[in-house]
């Protein structure tokens, strides 16, 4: 049977539509709240209405007696359950005891106080209203700088200074750099607290199988395997008795890169009542008790020469931690410090972080996690320096970029940037913006009273988390590829996609490597009983770390395929192409199905080869990957109202090689939208008593489709040498590049009025007041 | 986000509905775009909901003797897209198109909106500019009020227990009337920070009729008669508009919230009033 | 939240001062209040049922009158809590004579917590003003009635 087998058309690099979407857009996907089980009970959680209070007493009698209520638990009932884990370790870190239900004190609005378990959700909610808690309200503090002031209320009485940790990092000789500086610019820059607002709130279903003493935990999470390890630890359960299943997850943005009280609490409840129990977070709870992002007050200083050469960078970073440490809370600002030099040749850097407790929900990773703050800081500072030197901000950036011949580049913060061509995306973006002519147009516009501005942001980010020594829980990723006896392929990834589309991109990679149609491949993730251990999806690591793991698993498998192919064709002169092993001389071939069938039937085995067609690979990345890019935003401020119109949004991103341009575009768009949210509308506001006053979507302004400008997205391509796919990661790039470009643009529009800096969000009232000092219209 | 128990009735006709409401304890469900969220937050816990969505008598837009009568259960979308309103009394259709989002406009009704009397709702500004009337019914009878009398205070209307809005009556516009609704949108909720509705007629080069309704600025929507008086009889020049709009917030105790201070709201009231007047004048002939 | 404003009562200052401190009158005029029970000198306990549009909330709380300077000034301290949240207010009332009537100026701070603080931002200021307005309207009505000669 001599047939011509040619390599099928490759899929990597093509805009394949997401294979996930049909079930998502037709409403047939299964989220946690879609899970129904016989005998399933429902839990509802009573939460603190106070920012800080002592609990004098809790009366659960009426709630317990309410028809349909099967159990009510409070802090004293769950004493045996271990604390909510903090995975970050910093020298001298103060870690408050974080029990899954409050004991004698509450520390933030939303702090869980009691749980009611009932036969249905409505009964549980009714019974919550019957619990009487006698609180003694205490003075709260919600602002990190106020918390640091002398005499501030202590969030945790044992640490009256409210300082959870201080952290110092330096490189070079900053003192000398500032001494030699011809110009120094300073600015206080706020990256405000944000609420991640995943479309699907969190949810948990726990089922206990008493006979086997085993638990199944369904949770809307980004990290099923880590959750299994950590929740088993909290419960004192052997890890192999706990199975975590991650059904469809409707977005996370870092807020589900965590282990929360509710996961262990529902497991505890399921074990106590011997029935499955479900808890679904309301939007209001999501705002109150799922981690927030950002929360920086940064004090920057840049030293430079008159010609624009940057010399040194100082940062004092005040991080609002909230009342507790969630999984990575204290580690997030350290990422800001790592990336503080941006794309520039700062040889002397000096940073101090103060991590501050406040009576607010903890902050933690949120799309970009530390890098948007760093990029916002350095990109604002570059514009402030340009203004001080009366230099063009594009020119100043081009002057200070790390050169193409300097990679791998060792930064003053200890990183090794993998590859880059930083001028390329900026030049492309400047061309797209017709920068030179725009400046002429702008001059004319300003002369006629229009407030037209252009803003540049050139960002670099640290992605592909990451080498294990640099991460708290291992930074590798895993993949298993199996070929069934019929030749169908199953990919199991240790990542946990929740919107990233790896069921598509990983199938593209596998289809190309195995030469089979994409429809022959399925991708499985998020069930710890099926999939080998993995780390999860966050930090733009899905494709950049999970992808190479899959690539190497495929190489292992292909070796075995070849061996069986050679055996079946009785020759070593064989090529594996187009899903077949082909004899190079005779043209005889055997298909993958024949090969896989032979491997399972195992009538005969190649030398030193085991039956079956499965390969697993755990890939340890040798370094991070560092994507970069340039965003340019043209804005016009309405002088009568202060309203910002985004006239053009140009994004040129370099995320290395692209597996699927359609999905990359989706990531850039979504990222930019979240960046615009921070720049223009969003802010989590706590009042002085620790009340979250933006407690619902009626007051917390997330972007809506109608508020979003056209995004002109394009790319340059600088492959990463860190992994065989040459990919860098793109999940957070849009968010990181966006906010400084918008603020720089609006500051540029108002610069002739003496405006140097504006903190986000750029609300119309804030801008109106800048245009009309003293409130004069 | 789970409401308390309540009884639910969905009467098929107006008499049945009015009989159910006569006791005074039931709460009307007229789209539910404000009521349902309040119930889910347990800020509202009515014992009995009477859903008017099946009462066909309350769902119509028809012209009668120089007026257009809009049934209380007409949705925002039906108002926004009504060819009759678009042709003969467009201001209300424009106001409807500014409400919330598509989902809200498909569910929410004009009767439900005005009976809730949210101080930042879109309709009242236009209804004031249109000098609309509200026809009210109950098991005991019916009465008709001017919109000014209907809107008593923030979140407070002239409706007595057992009464519902039956229809809203707006005039068929005289040829050459120019209208506009200009709104500064609160980005989270979509409600108006301020919203100004203007309606003008010109005759012999002078402004012969001017009506201005304002929402979002104060505890309740109001007619800006000060602005109207200053502009009436002028040539309607840009300077006339600015001068008139400048007094819109005079003597008003302006609202303040997270999204806009009282001082800023007052400023924006002037800007949006001027914009509404300018556009309305440009459309008047 | 800061509150402030003024309202004119159609009575002389002494009379205005008197009614503003009379628990019977306050109970009658404060929206949704049944009665005030004296629990100490110038301190009263109360239950309120606030109904604003579809929203209703039951509050239990206390009112205290302090720093009296008759007939010019006093402080009113209010606190209440219920399932929908809690509030704490501290207001200074200043009475200024103007001919036969009295201008009552008020200025103070209200702290709000719980559900109403978290979801009601947009309407808090409006609602606070509404409640104060309703109180003074009722008070005006009351002093009007009280000054009417009893019908024979």
ipTM entry = 0.96
Does residue C144 register a pLDDT over 90?
Answer: no
CA distance A99 to A83: 5
Give chain A positions within 8 Å (CB) of B258: 685, 693-694, 699
Report yes or no: A768 at the B interface, CB cutoff 8 Å.
yes
pLDDT single digits (tens) A376-410 = 999 999 999 999 999 999 999 999 999 999 999 99
The answer to whether the Cβ–Cβ distance between B119 and C126 falls below 8 Å is: yes
pLDDT of residue C151: 43
CA distance B102 to B100: 7
Closest chain A C-alpha to B167 CA, distance in angstroms: 29
What is the three-state SS of A676-737?
HHHHHHCCCCECCCCCECCCCCCCCCCCCHHHCCCEEEEECCCCCCCCCCCECCCCCHHHHH
Confidence of residue C35 (pLDDT cuts 50, 70, 90): confident
Which of B1-14 are b and which e, b meaning 16 or more Cβ less than 10 Å from the residue's Cβ? Answer: bbbeeeeeeebeeb
pLDDT single digits (tens) C61-102 = 999 999 999 999 999 999 999 988 999 999 999 999 988 899
pLDDT of residue C99: 83
CA distance A595 to C65: 91
**Looking at chain A, which residue has its C-alpha nearest residue C1?**
A687
What are the beta bridge partners of residue B8? B49
Closest chain B C-alpha to A125 CA, distance in angstroms: 7
**Looking at chain B, which residue has its C-alpha nearest residue A641?**
B268
pLDDT single digits (tens) A40-59 = 999 999 999 999 999 999 99
Helical ranges in B108-257 per DSSP H: 110-116, 123-129, 147-150, 225-231, 238-245
CA distance B92 to B79: 7
Query: Phi and psi of C20, rounded to 5°?
Result: -70, -15
Q: What are the tokens at B218? A: 């104060």
Does residue A768 register a pLDDT over 60?
Answer: yes
The answer to whether the Cβ–Cβ distance between C115 and B219 falls below 8 Å is: no
The answer to whether the Cβ–Cβ distance between A641 and B42 falls below 8 Å is: no
Nearest to A422 by CA among A194, A737, A84: A737
Check residue A544 and report its DSSP letter.
Answer: I
Check residue A469 and report its DSSP letter.
Answer: G
Q: Is the peptide bond before A51 cis (omega within 30 degrees of 0)?
A: no
Q: Measured between CB atoms, which of B2, B184, B267 is closest to A777? A: B267
Beta strands in B172-235 (DSSP E): 178-185, 192-203, 206-215, 222-223
Report yes or no: B38 at the C interface, CB cutoff 8 Å.
yes
Plot region of A733 (φ>0 → left; ψ -120 to 50 → alpha; else → beta): alpha
Average pLDDT over every residue of A272-297: 97
Nearest to A111 by CA among A480, A362, A327, A334: A362
Does residue C146 register a pLDDT over 90?
Answer: no
**Of the given ranges (A186-190, A615-619, C46-50), which has the lowest mean pLDDT?**
C46-50
The whole-chain average pLDDT of chain C stands at 89
Helical ranges in A570-607 per DSSP H: 592-601
Does residue A356 register a pLDDT over 70?
Answer: yes
Average pLDDT over every residue of A334-352: 98
Give chain B positions within 8 Å (CB) of A119: none
Q: Measured between CB atoms, which of A121, A701, A765 is closest to B260? A: A765
Contacts of C67 (CB under 8 A, 6+ apart): C73, C74, C75, C92
End-to-end C-alpha distance for chain B, whole angstroms = 52
Query: Phi and psi of A679, rounded to 5°?
Result: -65, -40
CA distance A183 to A174: 14
Contacts of A706 (CB under 8 A, 6+ apart): none
The radius of gyration of chain A's CA atoms, rounded to the nearest angstrom, is 28
pLDDT of residue A473: 86
Q: Judging by DSSP bridges, how do beta strands A112-118 and A69-74 pair with one another?
A: antiparallel
pLDDT of residue A2: 52
* Long-range CB contact pairs, A763-768, < 8 A, 24+: A763/A642, A763/A680, A763/A681, A763/B259, A764/A638, A764/A641, A764/A642, A764/A643, A764/A644, A764/B184, A765/A642, A765/B259, A765/B260, A765/B261, A765/B264, A766/A642, A767/A637, A767/A642, A767/A643, A767/A644, A768/A641, A768/A642, A768/B264, A768/B267
pLDDT of residue C147: 64
Q: Write down the pTM of the prediction.
A: 0.96
Q: What are the tokens at A771? A: 């245009």
The answer to whether the Cβ–Cβ distance between C117 and A693 falls below 8 Å is: yes
* Location of structure tokens 């590829």: A481
The answer to whether the Cβ–Cβ distance between B156 and C56 falls below 8 Å is: no
Q: Which residues of A touch C (CB under 8 A)?
A: 49-50, 109, 129, 284, 287-288, 687, 689, 691-696, 698-699
pLDDT single digits (tens) C112-138 = 999 999 888 888 889 889 989 999 999
Contact A42, A121 (CB under 8 A): yes
Give chain A positions within 8 Å (CB) of B264: 765, 768-769
Q: Is the peptide bond before A206 cis (omega within 30 degrees of 0)?
A: no
pLDDT of residue A682: 98
The answer to whether the Cβ–Cβ distance between A699 and C122 falls below 8 Å is: yes
Closest chain A C-alpha to B267 CA, distance in angstroms: 7
Length of chain A: 777
Q: At what angle do helices A371-389 and A393-400 cross, to 10 degrees?
A: 110
Q: How many CA atoms lie within 13 A of A759 on its CB side?
A: 13
Pick among B2, B8, B254 to test the A interface (most A CBs inside 10 A)? B2
The radius of gyration of chain B's CA atoms, rounded to the nearest angstrom, is 19
Confidence of residue A7 (pLDDT cuts 50, 70, 90): low
Closest chain B C-alpha to A681 CA, distance in angstroms: 7
Length of chain C: 152
CA dihedral B12, B13, B15, B18 (to 10 degrees): 70
* Ranges in chain B, pLDDT < 70: 1
pLDDT of residue C152: 39
CA angle A539, A290, C83 (to 5 degrees): 170
Which of B37-57 are b and which e, b meaning 16 or more Cβ less than 10 Å from the residue's Cβ? Answer: bbbbbbbbbbeebbbbbebeb
Query: What Cα–Cα distance (Å) separates residue A103 from each residue in A48, A129, A366?
Result: 12, 19, 29
pLDDT of residue C52: 85
Closest chain B C-alpha to A360 CA, distance in angstroms: 19
């Amino acid at each position: 049977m001599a047939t011509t087998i040619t390599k099928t058309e490759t899929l990597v690099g093509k805009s394949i539509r997401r294979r996930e979407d049909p079930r998502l857009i037709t409403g047939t996907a299964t989220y946690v709240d879609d899970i129904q089980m016989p005998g399933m009970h429902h839990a509802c959680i009573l939460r603190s209405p106070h920012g800080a209070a002592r609990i004098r007493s809790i009366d659960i009698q009426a709630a317990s007696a309410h028809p349909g209520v099967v159990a009510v638990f409070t802090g004293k009932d769950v004493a045996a359950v271990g604390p909510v884990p903090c995975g970050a370790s910093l020298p001298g870190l103060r870690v408050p005891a974080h029990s899954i239900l409050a004991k004698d004190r509450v520390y933030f609005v939303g702090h869980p106080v009691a749980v009611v378990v009932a036969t249905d959700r409505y009964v549980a909610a009714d019974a919550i209203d019957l619990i009487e808690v006698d609180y003694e309200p205490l003075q709260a503090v919600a602002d990190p700088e106020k918390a640091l002031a002398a005499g501030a209320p202590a969030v945790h009485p044992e640490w009256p200074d409210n300082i959870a940790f201080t952290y110092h990092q330096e490189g070079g000789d900053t003192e000398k750099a500032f001494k030699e500086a011809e110009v120094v610019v300073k600015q206080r820059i706020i990256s405000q607290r944000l609420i991640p607002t995943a479309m699907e709130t969190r949810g948990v279903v726990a089922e206990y199988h008493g006979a086997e003493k085993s638990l199944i935990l369904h949770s809307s999470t980004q990290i099923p395997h880590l959750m299994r390890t950590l929740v088993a630890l909290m419960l004192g359960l052997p890890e192999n008795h706990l199975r975590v299943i991650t059904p469809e997850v409707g977005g996370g943005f870092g807020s589900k890169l965590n282990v929360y009280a509710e996961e262990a609490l529902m497991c505890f409840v399921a074990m106590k009542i011997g029935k499955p129990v479900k808890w679904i977070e309301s939007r209001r709870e999501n705002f109150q008790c799922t981690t927030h992002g950002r929360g920086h007050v940064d004090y920057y200083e840049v030293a430079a020469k008159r010609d624009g050469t940057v010399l040194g960078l100082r940062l004092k970073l005040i991080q609002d931690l909230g009342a507790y440490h969630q999984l990575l809370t204290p580690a997030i600002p350290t990422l800001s410090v790592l990336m503080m030099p941006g794309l520039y040749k700062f040889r002397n850097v000096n940073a101090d972080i103060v991590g501050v407790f406040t009576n607010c929900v903890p902050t933690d990773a949120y799309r970009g996690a530390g890098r948007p703050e760093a990029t916002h800081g350095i990109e604002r500072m570059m514009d402030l320096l340009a203004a001080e030197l009366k230099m063009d901000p594009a020119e100043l950036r081009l002057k200070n970029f790390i050169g193409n011949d300097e990679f791998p580049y060792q930064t003053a913060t200890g990183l090794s940037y993998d590859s880059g061509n930083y001028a390329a995306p900026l030049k492309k973006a400047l061309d797209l913006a017709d920068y030179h002519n725009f400046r002429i147009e702008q001059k004319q516009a300003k002369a006629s009273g229009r407030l037209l501005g252009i803003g540049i942001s050139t960002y670099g980010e640290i992605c592909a988390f990451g080498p294990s020594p640099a991460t708290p829980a291992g930074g590798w990723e895993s993949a298993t590829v199996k070929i069934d006896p019929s030749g169908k392929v199953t990919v199991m990834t240790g990542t946990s996609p929740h919107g990233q589309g790896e069921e598509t991109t990983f199938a593209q990679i596998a289809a190309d490597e195995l030469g089979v149609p994409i429809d022959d491949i399925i991708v499985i993730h998020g069930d710890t009983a099926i999939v080998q251990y993995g780390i999860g999806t966050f930090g733009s690591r899905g494709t950049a770390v999970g992808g190479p793991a899959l690539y190497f698993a495929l190489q292992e498998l292909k070796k075995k395929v070849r061996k069986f192919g050679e055996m079946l064709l009785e020759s070593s002169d064989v090529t594996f192409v187009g899903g077949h092993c082909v004899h190079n001389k005779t043209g005889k071939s055997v298909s993958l199905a024949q090969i896989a069938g032979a491997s399972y039937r195992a009538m005969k085995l190649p030398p030193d080869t085991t039956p079956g067609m499965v390969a697993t690979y755990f890939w340890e990345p040798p370094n991070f990957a560092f994507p970069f890019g340039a965003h340019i935003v043209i804005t016009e401020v309405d002088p009568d109202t202060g309203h910002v119109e985004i006239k053009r949004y140009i994004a040129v991103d370099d995320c290395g090689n692209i597996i699927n341009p359609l999905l990359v575009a989706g990531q850039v768009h979504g990222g930019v939208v979240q960046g615009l949210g921070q720049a223009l509308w969003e802010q989590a506001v706590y009042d002085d008593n620790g009340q979250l006053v933006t407690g619902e979507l009626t007051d917390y302004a997330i972007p809506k489709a109608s508020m979003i400008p056209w995004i002109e997205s394009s790319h340059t391509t600088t492959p990463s040498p860190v992994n065989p796919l040459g990919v860098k990661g793109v999940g957070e790039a849009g968010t990181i590049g966006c906010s400084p470009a918008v603020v720089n643009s609006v500051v540029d529009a108002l610069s002739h009025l003496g405006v140097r800096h504006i903190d986000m969000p750029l609300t119309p009232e804030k801008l109106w007041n800048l245009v009309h000092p003293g409130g004069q219209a | 986000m789970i409401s308390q128990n309540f009884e639910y009735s969905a009467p098929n006709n107006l008499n049945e509905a009015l009989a159910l409401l006569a006791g005074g304890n039931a709460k009307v469900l007229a789209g539910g775009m404000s009521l349902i969220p309040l119930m889910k937050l347990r800020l509202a816990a009515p014992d009995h909901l009477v859903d008017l969505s099946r009462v066909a008598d309350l769902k119509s837009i028809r012209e009668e003797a120089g007026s257009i009568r809009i049934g209380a259960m007409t949705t925002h979308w039906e108002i926004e897209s009504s060819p009759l309103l678009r042709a003969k009394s467009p201001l209300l259709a424009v106001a409807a198109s500014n409400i919330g989002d598509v989902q809200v406009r498909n569910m929410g009704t004009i009767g439900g909106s005005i009976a809730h009397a949210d101080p930042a709702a879109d309709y009242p500004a236009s209804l004031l500019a249109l000098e609309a009337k509200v026809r009210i019914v109950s098991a005991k009878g019916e009465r008709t009020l001017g919109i000014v009398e209907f809107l008593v205070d923030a979140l407070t209307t002239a409706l007595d227990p057992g009464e519902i809005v039956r229809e809203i009556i707006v005039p068929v516009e005289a040829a050459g009337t120019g209208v506009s609704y200009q709104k500064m949108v609160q980005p989270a909720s979509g409600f108006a920070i301020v919203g100004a509705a203007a309606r003008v007629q010109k005759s012999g080069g002078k402004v012969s009729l001017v009506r201005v309704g304002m929402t979002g600025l104060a505890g309740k929507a109001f007619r800006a008669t000060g602005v109207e008086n200053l502009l009436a009889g002028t040539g309607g020049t840009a300077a006339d508009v600015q001068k008139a709009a400048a007094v819109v917030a005079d003597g008003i105790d302006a609202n303040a919230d997270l999204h806009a201070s009282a001082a800023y709201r007052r400023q924006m009231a002037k800007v949006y009033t001027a914009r509404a007047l300018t556009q309305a004048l440009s459309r008047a002939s | 939240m800061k509150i402030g404003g003024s309202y004119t009562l159609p009575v002389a200052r002494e009379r205005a001062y008197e009614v503003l401190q009379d628990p019977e009158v306050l109970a009658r005029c404060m929206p949704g209040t049944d009665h005030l029970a004296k629990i100490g000198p110038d301190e009263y306990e109360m239950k309120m049922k606030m109904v604003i549009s579809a929203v209703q909330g039951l509050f239990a709380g206390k009112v205290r009158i302090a720093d009296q300077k008759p007939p010019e000034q006093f402080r009113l301290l209010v606190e209440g809590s219920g399932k929908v949240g809690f509030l704490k207010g501290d207001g200074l009332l200043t009475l200024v004579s103007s001919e036969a009537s009295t201008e009552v100026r008020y200025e103070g701070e209200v702290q709000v917590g719980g559900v109403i603080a978290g979801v009601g931002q947009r309407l808090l200021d409006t609602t606070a003003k509404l409640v104060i307005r309703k109180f003074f309207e009722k008070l005006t009505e009351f002093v009007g009635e009280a000054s009417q000669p009893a019908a024979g």
